[in-house]
Chains A and B, each alone.
Chain A
Amino acid sequence: GAGVSQSPSNKVTEKGKDVELRCDPISGHTALYWYRQSLGQGLEFLIYFQGNSAPDKSGLPSDRFSAERTGGSVSTLTIQRTQQEDSAVYLCASSLGNPDTQYFGPGTRLTVL
């Protein structure tokens, strides 16, 4: 079946602009996670959604970052007033119920000039 999809695959923006990154999880998966990976680094947790529960936003690095998940499916990560240090690959993952089986999407490579 279809895996996790993300769009766009690449995004180049200017410092100060807002960007929206989209994640479409595997159909039926109730949990959705956003991570980011800076060059040569491991993945850094950003935010987690589970069903209709309030999201776990504990990993968001600043109030410029926000995310929503509409209808328990598609999620959008928004970064306002982008900074150069926001440049990274933003990865989305989903899982069915067991949080120990997370499937990752291909990522969005964000470059802030």
Chain B
Amino acid sequence: QKEVEQNSGPLSVPEGAIASLNCTYSDRGSQSFFWYRQYSGKSPELIMFIYSNGDKEDGRFTAQLNKASQYVSLLIRDSQPSDSATYLCASRPSGSARQLTFGSGTQLTVLP
């Protein structure tokens, strides 16, 4: 079982809709969770991180964390074609680890 799992997609949504991206993790001790966006041929860029159960909003993006169910999600409101990219979910394992464990990513396409 992979430590961080994502639906690889592709996920297609129309412009203006809400895109919902989901991720589950296996290390119950993980404390920090991240969403990165990666455009084709580019490096990942951090969108949001979340530590606590519940929702965290930043502009059009909302990260949701449910530690009991071990899932993290990212909602993108008013999706734009420029949001089309691969979205990587990551966790930082428990203990003193500093490196991130990544899922394989979900490819999102926002249709104009």
In the complex, the answer to whether B98 meets A99 with C-beta atoms within 8 Å is yes
In the complex, the answer to whether A104 meets B98 with C-beta atoms within 8 Å is no
Q: How large is the interface on B (under 10, 10 to 19, 20 to 34, 35 or more residues)?
A: 20 to 34
**B103 proximity list for chain A (CB < 8 A):** 42
In the docked arrangement, what's the CA distance between A105 and B103, Å? Answer: 19
Interface: A100 (CB within 8 A): yes
Q: How large is the interface on A (under 10, 10 to 19, 20 to 34, 35 or more residues)?
A: 20 to 34
In the complex, the answer to whether A56 meets B43 with C-beta atoms within 8 Å is no
Question: A59 with B99: in contact, given A40-B104, A100-B92 (CB under 8 Å)?
Answer: yes
Question: A106 with B99: in contact, given A40-B104, A100-B32 (CB under 8 Å)?
Answer: no
Instruction: Spot the interface stretch: B44-52, B57-65, B66-74.
Output: B44-52
Q: When the two chains form the complex, which single residue of A33, A40, A48, A100 contacts B34, counting CB atoms closer than 8 Å?
A: A100
**B60 CB → nearest A CB, Å:** 21
**B32 proximity list for chain A (CB < 8 A):** 100
Report 27 cross-chain contacts, Cβ distance below 8 Å, ordered by A residue.
A31-B98, A33-B98, A33-B99, A35-B99, A35-B102, A41-B104, A42-B4, A42-B6, A42-B88, A42-B102, A42-B104, A42-B105, A43-B44, A43-B90, A43-B100, A45-B99, A45-B100, A56-B97, A59-B99, A91-B43, A99-B98, A99-B99, A100-B92, A104-B43, A105-B43, A106-B43, A107-B43
